[in-house]
Amino acid sequence: MNHRRALRAAVTIAVTGALAAGMTMTLTSTASAGTTLRASAAEKGRYFGAAVATGKLSTSVYATILNREFNSVVAENEMKWDATEPQQGRFSYTGGDRLVSHAQANGMSVRGHALLWHQQQPGWAQGMSGSALRNAAINHVTQVATHFRGKIHSWDVVNEAFADGGSGGRRDSNLQRTGNDWIEAAFRAARAADPGAKLCYNDYNTDGINAKSTGIYNMVRDFKSRGVPIDCVGFQSHLGTSLAGDYQANLQRFADLGVDVQITELDVMTGGNQANIFGAVTRACMNVSRCTGITVWGVRDCDSWRGSDNALLFDCNGNKKAAYTNVLNALNAGPAIPTDPPTDPPTDPPTDPPTTPPPGTGGCSASVSLNSWTGGFVATVKVTAGSAGTNGWNVGVTLASGASVTNTWSATASGSTGTVRFTNVDYNGRLGAGQVTEFGFQGTGSGAGITPTCTAS
């Protein structure tokens, strides 16, 4: 989200129950209730964050509220493509690094926003298309995620790629025109660059069960079934004077796919329902065990991109509004995230279908699946142990002329062109008879003709 773009239409589904106009709700806080948003959220195993413009960190009232109330931050603009790569191949991390340093000094986690988005692209990228844009986009993901590796809790890998309206389909953009697999390629590149970060898809007007949210749901379900690395879905929740009656049910259906859900850009138009809506969104998150946190898009009303909507929890003087009290009460009254989080449900079809061990007394075999586009590819290699199992394995591939390996995960690569050999890392070399593991690599050029061979040790 960016304060520069026009205010979007709010969800129009009528508010129900406790949100009815004029109705108020009082929640009794627990004996160990937190007295700040960050303390209360942390007690329940969650974060409560705010979008930050680093230029405002020197404003006393702003910084005081931020440091006292929030245990997570996200950059409003400092980590977007136009800010981090203003010229192709020349990266600038000044703003992002400043935010990370502030977070580390104040016990906050950091959400990364956003690696790829059809808006706020630098001018040089706006003029690109086809394989040149695809390669530039994947390189951008790789370089930025690598720079911040180990410092980011969750990345919005792709932002707002689905169209509004009733189609449930993708938004037309220069990125989409590079091929329908561009989102998958971005997630695979992000996982390779920072294996420890949660990888999220983020969008707006997805607050209830509608055509757009269902299109995203179908994409996430497909990704999970094929082993594409997606960990979370972000719901922006820029709200007006009502909230979808199926808001919580929508969060839950995504969580049931085996991904975390996060409220990523919450703000609510001022008016009689503002406090109630803020409270209801917080309760919905608390009631979904895989809802790991909430981020409001700004600190004070005068910091909001929504101008006169006065859409946040603090007024411009730093005073807490009624919405703040409702949110704090909802955090204190809600359940904690279970100590043993739910496991991902079985995929259909399974990510790793049963494999018949190859004949013989030892050895291993390897097979590859390719996700290719003009100018690049991602290869996923499946290694299957023979009947004697393995203590380690070595897989060789011969690349087409002009092709090159640029990233590798779950293996160590020797070489990058011609014949490249991949060996296991410490956690996936020892396999029992018939057991399977996977590694992957990203490359430029053509992936055609790759036929892996496996040697066991």
Q: How far is CA 370 from CA 176, 379, 413, in A?
A: 19, 5, 18
Q: What is the rounded distance in angstroms from the CA atom of residue 259 to the CA atom of residue 255? A: 5
Active-site residue flag, 184: no
- The identity of residue 121, as a single letter, is Q
89 Rama class: left (phi>0) / alpha (psi -120 to 50) / beta: left
Three-state secondary structure call for residue 38? helix
Closest CA to 296 of 272, 320, 271: 320
Are residues 159 and 116 in contact, defined by beta-carbon separation less than 8 angstroms? Answer: yes
Three-state secondary structure call for residue 336? coil
Closest CA to 193 of 233, 151, 232, 234: 151
Are residues 71 and 47 in contact, defined by beta-carbon separation less than 8 angstroms? Answer: yes
Q: What is the rounded distance in angstroms from the CA atom of residue 418 to the CA atom of residue 401? A: 7
DSSP 87: B
Q: What is the per-residue DSSP string for 281-321?
A: HHHHHHTSTTEEEEEES-SBGGGSTTGGG--SSB-TT-PBP
One of 76, 85, 160, 265 is an active-site residue; which one? Answer: 265
Sole residue written with tokens 């969104």: 281
Characterize the bridge pairing of strands 291-296 and 47-52: parallel
In sequence order, which residues have a C-beta less than 8 Å from that of residue 440 and are 6 or more positions away?
188, 192, 378, 379, 380, 381, 408, 409, 410, 411
Q: What is the rounded distance in angstroms from the CA atom of residue 233 to the CA atom of residue 239? A: 18
Q: What is the rounded distance in angstroms from the CA atom of residue 36 to the CA atom of residue 451? A: 57
Three-state secondary structure call for residue 190? helix
Active-site residues, by number, are 265
